[in-house]
Amino acid sequence: MTYGWAILIVIIVAAALFALGVFNPSTYTGRAATGFGELGAPSDWQYSATTLTMVLRNQAGVAVSVSNVTTAQGCYYDTAIAIPAGGTGTATITGCTSKATGASFSETVTVTYTASGSTLARTATGTVTGSAV
């Protein structure tokens, strides 16, 4: 009988912790962007269903032309974006794995761009994390 009450209390505590979101990893996921080298980390990003939208920030010191943006899971954006020095440009990356609202994500993103006055393509790789909306 004593064991029965102890098991019942453990089940009630576990249910309460589950309801509070203690077992949901997205509860602990903050928004962060790391990497991206001289291009600079994005100023904003949002993962919605199968689309990752990023506001790319140009900190390269010269105007750049972004040719494509891809993620490790195969999402892509291949429309050219001209971003002036110190400016921003928006890339809507499609074809991503579907994420439910509130689900945590961490995406490794590679931006391919060309700096003004150069013909050589450069890449900037970084990671964005957060919760899907």
The string of pLDDT tens digits covering residues 87-101 is 999 999 988 888 888
- Decide: pTM greater than 0.85: no
Q: Which CATH number fits domain 31-131: 1.10.3470, 2.40.50, 3.30.499, 2.60.40?
A: 2.60.40
- Answer whether residue 25 shows pLDDT above 80: no
36 φ, ψ (degrees, to nearest 5): 75, 5
Q: What is the mean pLDDT of the chain?
A: 86
In order, the DSSP letters of 30-66 are PPEEEE-GGG---SEEEEEBTEEEEEEE--SSS-EEE
Looking at the DSSP assignment, which residues form a beta bridge with residue 125?
110
Residue with tokens 């509070």: 20
pLDDT digits (tens, 9 = 90+) for 81-90: 999 999 999 9
Q: Are 128 and 107 in contact (CB under 8 A)?
A: yes
Question: Which tokens sit at 117?
Answer: 């006055």
